[in-house]
Each structure stands twice: as structure tokens, then as C-alpha cells.
Structure 1
């Protein structure tokens, strides 16, 4: 019970800080909206390429952009830890009875709330631009769930990197080094059946691709729920491993403090 109370209190702390500076919410939406509205229009003719199976390109692109937004937002999760280290807050928390797991889960819960809100805004803009999902409300709900699970995976990784490196520059560098290859080695912006075979092979092992496939499949006209559940399960497992790894990273932080 104490872990639940600690998680709720720490999550509320971060939400209060967010409400004081809501501009960050809008800033994380700028790049996804550019991808959706600009690139979605520039590359609409991709749907005419023989072998493309995604139908309307903007509809195909939207789940990929949702996952991009979730991943890039989650990549900054550890920045809050580094700020706490610089202000001495982290050391005070670690000398208190606060649950280490609660400290990790609270950052992921906070980032997941932002992901849900930002996804809602992005989907409204996509609907205004003409995107229609045949999967209905249930499909959209699964799309949001996939984005939240992806947030947990990359948020936990970001927390672990922050605890180990304790530097903003290192967190930024590692996040950028991972995020762009992960994004392009997936079907987020292009049907992998049109890419070299090795791209498809790598994509099958890519958590970002698992989220894209689960979300896109859920909102399609003929949903393969078996595929959706498998990919959601893989994401949940990766997220659980990430939480365990990030919690263990506290020991590295304490040894290097």
C-alpha cells in the first residue's frame, strides 16, 4: 500500500510542476503535427506505389505519428531525475522511506498521462484532416493503450540512462542515437514490405514497431486481434523489464554519488 501512496504522491508532484509550465505540452506536439500535416500531404502519392498495402497514406501514417510522439516524449522522462539530482531532491528521496519502484512508476504514470492527452489532440487534428478509423472507439482505445505501453518502455529506459549517466547531454545524445534508427526501422512512415528484407527482419524485433502494428491493426477495418494481443503483450513484457532495470539503476547511482 505504501508503494501505491508513494506513486500517487510523486505523480501528483510532477503533474503540479507540469501545470505551472504547460508550454512543454504544446512543444512536444509541434514535431508530430508537422509529420502528420506536412509529410502526410507531401507523400500521399506513396499510396499509389505497387505493393503498398496501407490504403490512404494519411490514415496509414497517423498511428505511426502517435507512436513517434509517445517515444520522443518518453525519451525525456529521465530529464526530471537529472533536475532532481542537481537540486539535491534525489538524495533526499533516496534517504527517505520512499519506494524506489514508486519513484520509477510515478515518472512513467506522469508521462503516460501526457501521452494520452497529446494523443487525443493529435487524433482530433487527424480527424479534421480527413482521417477515419474503421476500428471505431475500441480500436482508438487500443491505439492509445499501445502508445502508453510504448511510453513505459522508453520512459523506463530514459530513467535508467539518467540514473547511470547523471548528465543532460548524455541523456540527449543516447536518446537521439536510439530514437531515430528505431523509428525508421519500422513501418511508422513506410510499409516495410516495400523496404529491403533485412528492414522487415529488424522491425519484427523492434518495440516501436510492436506499438505501431498493434495500434494500426486495431483501427483497421478487419482487425487481427490475435496480432494485436501478441504485440501488446510484447510491449507489456518489455515495459516490465524496463521498470526492473530502471529500479536497479538506483544502485548504480548510489555507488557513483
Structure 2
């Protein structure tokens, strides 16, 4: 069997594990849902600040929360790898003919499926709160794809960290340490023209910001395809490099067992 077939079976394995514990999807959505409801109410008057380029904060916030949900889902992708390591499953796979790349792609594809479900739920909740996705289905599709790409990128980084630390508490501590800065050093919740220059400068190199900018632009009435394609290209490169890093980390892991 080739790599694609092996990756398919590994994806099915991880999907079955997710279906056995559907509450995991719900747990990943708790924080984005709370932030969607709280922020849309608390900061509804922020649109009156000079320079704010939207007539509704929920319209501005909704794409950011979608990206937040996929980012958070991807960040914990390494938990399944650590569980497989701790239970000896990963070592048993290494003694089988399974393609090594499938052990990386399997959990990432499963995470992508989970991200699509979560992003769809967040979009529906945003509609309920009055969000208007003027870009239509095409814009929503692009928003979800951007979310999945940033989620896969951080998911691959999570796998790399998991293979390094091999401890669930250590991975959770790392995710907790980086998640808030990564989200707030972006345009997810506030336009960059309204934040200090140092935040603006950092956000330029933040993949979460790339996803937020591309996704938000895609749901506008008049889409600037230059912005969408540029940031989408950045996200694609980020995802590929992260997967390559995860592959290298896996090879290093093999040498230590």
C-alpha cells in the first residue's frame, strides 16, 4: 500500500477515537463560544472608535473567532501522539510496514476534519448573533480553508513538540503559554491600525494574523483577492514547513527508541 492509503487508514483510526469521545469537540469549542458571546456584547460600541473599518463588531469578530477555534484545535494535535507513545501504540506502528509519513498525516487530517466541523458550528452561532457574511458561500469556504491551514500548521508544530517532550502536561503548558500571545498579537479582535506599532509589527509575522486577515477579507462584499491570495500563500508555506518539521522530529524520535 502507498502513503495515501496508509494515511487514510491512520485518519480513520483517529476519527474513530474522536467519535468515541465527541465531547472533545465540544470542549475545544467552549472558549471560542464564550469569547464570541462575551466579546460581541462587551465591545459592541468599539465600532465608534475613529478608524474602525466595520459597522458591526460581530461582523468583524466572527471570522476571528472561527480562526481562533481552528488554531486551538490544531494546537492540541500532539496529545494523540503522546497518548500513542505512552501506551506503546506508536512503537508497535514502527515495527509494522506502515509509512512513517502516514503517522504524521493521519492525525493532521483528522484534526482538519474536526476543524471544519468546529468552524461550521462557530459560523452558525455567528449568524444567530447577527453576523453578516457578505462574501457568501465562497467567502465562508475561504474562511474555513484559511482556518484549516493555520490549524494544520500549528497542529504539525504541536506534533513536533509532543515528540520532543512526550508528556501531556508539558504540551498543555506550552500551548497555554503561547496561545494567548499568538491570538492577541494579531487582528482577530482589533484592527491593526488601532493597536500599538510594536503589536502591528509582530502581527505581520504571525500565521494566526494571516488567517484572520485573509478570512475576514474573503467575507466582504468587495473582496481584495490580492490580500486573500497573499496571506493564503503564506499560510500554505507555513503549513508545509511545519509538516516538514514534524517529519524531521519523528525521524529524531525513531533514533531515541
TM-score, normalization by structure 2: 0.97
More displaced, 104-113 or 247-256? 247-256
Aligned counterpart, 1:26: 26
- Cα offset, 1:211, TM superposition: 0.3
Aligned counterpart, 1:224: 224
Aligned counterpart, 2:244: 244
- Cα offset, 1:55, TM superposition: 2.8
Aligned counterpart, 1:187: 187
- In structure 1, the gaps of 5 or more residues are none
Structure 1 ranges of 4+ moved more than 4 A: none
CA distance in 2, matches of 1:254, 1:103: 12
The answer to whether 1:5 aligns with 2:8 is no
The DSSP-based 3-state class of the residue aligned with 1:223 is coil
TM-score, normalization by structure 1: 0.97
CA distance in 2, matches of 1:235, 1:15: 25
- Cα offset, 1:255, TM superposition: 3.1
CA distance in 2, matches of 1:153, 1:166: 19
* CA deviation map 1:29-86 (0-9, x unaligned): 1111111111111110111111111331011001110111111111110000110011
- In structure 2, the gaps of 5 or more residues are none
**Counterpart mapping for 1:87-236 below 5 A:** 87-236=87-236
More displaced, 99-108 or 203-212? 99-108
